[in-house]
Amino acid sequence: KIGELPTGWRVRLLCQQHVCPLPSLFSSHRGGSDHGMTGCNTIGVSRPESAGPVSARNVRRLLSFQRYLNSSQFLRGIPASDPLSYILDDDYTGQAKLMLEKVGNWNFDIFLFDRLTNGNSLVNLTFHLFNSYGLIELFQLDMVKLRRFLVMIQEDYRSQNPYHNAVHAADVTQAMYCYLQEPKLAQTLTSCDLLLGLLAAATHDLDHPGVNQPFLIKTDHYLAALYKNSSVLENHHWKSAVGLLRESALLSHLPTEDRSERLGSLILATDISRQNDYLSEFRSHLDKEDLCLTNGGHRHFILQMALKCADICNPCRPWKLCQQWSEKVTEEFFHQGDIERKHNLEVTPLCDRQSNSIANIQIGFMSYVVEPLFLEWSRFSDTRLSQTMLGHLSLNKQGWKEGRDKPDATNSRASEEQRTSVAKDSNSRVLPQGSKGS
Ligand SMILES: *[C@@H]1O[C@H](CO)[C@@H](O)[C@H](O)[C@H]1NC(C)=O
Ligand SMILES: *[C@@H]1O[C@H](CO)[C@@H](O)[C@H](O)[C@H]1NC(C)=O
Ligand SMILES: CC(=O)N[C@H]1CO[C@H](CO)[C@@H](O)[C@@H]1O
Ligand SMILES: [Zn+2]
């Protein structure tokens, strides 16, 4: 009986672990690596690396070069074997390029961009931003290493997560770019700041298991033990990012300085449970008007706040985007709740599809988390973008409130909206139908 086993076991049972018997070639592990959460599609709970001779991750690493070749073929627009798909690819490529010309737009539709790039939004967008900021030349980055690094990052997001996948990372990176372009930041940030800001955005949820920290703690996941129950996920994202940076040797020719620490401190700032600490520090700076962006520490703090905003900016996007993200994040939450119910764990209220709804979750999230943060951000950066974001936030909240007690009404209104906008969109005819779920 599963219910009688200690919790750690219960969860391990949920996950069919198949560690393939492999030649000794793979048996050496990277020291201090905390990877090894692969090979489990359901909830991403797995044994520590030391528990088996070979982690699925190492196998994936081996495949990554092939992945890179595949992906760079696409990026270079080399014809695929099917001549028809080549013609279509060419068309998408043109449209993706057009979209990148407006990458600083707050209306940027990352879902569309991801379809047009055949699921490579994170690689493509981040590469474009590095390039357009001149970071490649400035830091003398090897383009092959850079592409390879970005492909590894994209692949280490789990595409089976409805929300915490590479498209979310691409979306956060795009939002981060919008904030980096705000006058106060654009005028003061150094190239190092830009590099770290974009890197942190692209990697901030790396290898996210699709469940939250309390779940990892109550199921005795080894990551919870490794990081002593504190910012468990964020520490894992950071360490994973540092691992990939090392593996790709992208920055190995640059002085080390405090790069890893700064990257970590940016990623750790996305821990929502610590939001109040960051928010009160921000508020106190704004009250005292003592932020001085020639000061490196202050610039770093602003980057932290910018990344925090970028991470939770979904409700500040136009309704159509906001709504799609809400559906995805709710699906991920409810999936966790289903696992909890199935295995007699306490069901997290946020994740309980029997007692919670997408509208309720969104209204709460907007009121208690998003609004307070963006109000302070708009005090700091009182620009048109900030006004636009607050405008959408308020409209979207209203939207959820109106549909809250009538889920059917919300759904039909939404699909009606989607249908008309698709019909109006002349590009929609050539969208790759049924391509990777965005
Ligand atoms: C590379 O592409 C080929 C053909 O599309 C596919 O069969 C193969 O599985 C891909 N390899 C990887 C590692 O993605
Ligand atoms: C983490 O939390 C669990 C459950 O509350 C507890 O049993 C465990 O001792 C904690 N671990 C650490 C390192 O604090
Ligand atoms: C920088 C980069 O890789 N850009 C590519 C993004 O995708 C478009 C369309 O697929 C290509 O044309 C670009 O070269
Ligand atoms: Zn995130």
Q: What does the pLDDT look like over 7-59, one tens digit per residue?
A: 333 333 333 333 333 322 223 333 333 333 333 333 334 434 344 445 665 55
Q: Looking at the structure, tell me whether residues 72 and 207 fall in a common domain.
A: yes
Residue 346 located in a structural domain:
yes
More confident residue, 23 or 358: 358
Tell me which residues have their CB within 5 A of the ion that is ligand 4: 205, 311
Residue 361 located in a structural domain:
yes
Q: Looking at the structure, tell me whether residues 258 and 356 fall in a common domain.
A: no
Q: Looking at the structure, tell me whether residues 197 and 335 fall in a common domain.
A: no
Over 70: is that where the pLDDT of 268 sits?
Answer: yes
pLDDT at res. 276: 96
Residue 39 located in a structural domain:
no
Q: What CATH number corresponds to the domain at position 382?
A: 1.10.1300.10
Q: What is the mean pLDDT of residues 222-231?
A: 94
Q: Which residues line ligand 1 (CB under 6 A)?
A: 63, 66-67, 70
Q: Looking at the structure, tell me whether residues 100 and 232 fall in a common domain.
A: yes
Residue 300 located in a structural domain:
no
Q: Looking at the structure, tell me whether residues 138 and 229 fall in a common domain.
A: yes
Centre of ligand 3 to C-alpha 66, Å, is 19
| Close Cβ partners of 389 (under 8 Å, ≥ 6 residues apart) | 106, 313, 316, 374, 378
Domain end, chosen from 271, 301, 326, is at: 271
Alpha-carbon gap, residue 211 to 233, rounded angstroms: 9
Alpha-carbon gap, residue 122 to 335, rounded angstroms: 25
Task: Say whether 311 counts as a known binding-site residue.
Answer: yes
The number of distinct structural domains making up the chain is 2
Q: Looking at the structure, tell me whether residues 260 and 319 fall in a common domain.
A: no
Residue 106 buriedness (CB in 10 A; 0-12 / 13-18 / 19+) = middle
Ligand 3 atom 8: residue of nearest CA? 93
Q: Looking at the structure, tell me whether residues 105 and 209 fall in a common domain.
A: yes
Residue 421 buriedness (CB in 10 A; 0-12 / 13-18 / 19+) = exposed
Centre of ligand 4 to C-alpha 178, Å, is 16
Domain end, chosen from 241, 271, 301, is at: 271
Ligand nearest to the CA of residue 214, numbered in listed order = 2
Question: Is this model's pTM higher than 0.85 or not?
Answer: no
Ligand 3 atom 14: residue of nearest CA? 75
pLDDT at res. 3: 37
Q: Looking at the structure, tell me whether residues 347 and 260 fall in a common domain.
A: no
Which of 7, 217, 222 to probe ligand 2 with, by most ligand atoms within 8 A of CB? 217
Q: Looking at the structure, tell me whether residues 77 and 226 fall in a common domain.
A: yes
pLDDT at res. 255: 86
Q: Looking at the structure, tell me whether residues 226 and 320 fall in a common domain.
A: no
Q: Looking at the structure, tell me whether residues 323 and 266 fall in a common domain.
A: no
Residue 40 located in a structural domain:
no
Residue 175 located in a structural domain:
yes
pLDDT above 90 coverage of the chain, percent: 68
User: 332-337 long-range contacts, Cβ below 8 Å, gap at least 24?
Assistant: 332/161, 332/162, 332/163, 332/164, 332/210, 333/361, 335/162, 335/210, 336/43, 336/210, 336/211, 336/212, 336/215
Distances (CA, A) of 31 to 28, 92, 196, 205, 397: 9, 42, 25, 22, 47
pLDDT at res. 406: 53
Task: Say whether 172 counts as a known binding-site residue.
Answer: no
Contact 161, 208 (CB under 8 A): yes
Q: What does the pLDDT look like over 295-338, one tens digit per residue?
A: 999 999 999 999 999 999 999 999 999 999 999 999 999 999 99
The band of 373, judged by pLDDT with boundaries at 50, 70 and 90, is very high
Task: Say whether 80 counts as a known binding-site residue.
Answer: no
Residue 389 located in a structural domain:
yes
| pLDDT, averaged across the chain | 80
Domain end, chosen from 214, 238, 271, is at: 271
Task: Say whether 168 counts as a known binding-site residue.
Answer: yes
Q: Looking at the structure, tell me whether residues 225 and 337 fall in a common domain.
A: no
Q: Which atom of ligand 1 is nearest to the CA of 66?
A: 13
Residue 333 located in a structural domain:
yes
Six-digit token string for 227: 């990081």
Residue-number span of the structural domain to which 83 is assigned? 1-29+49-180+190-271
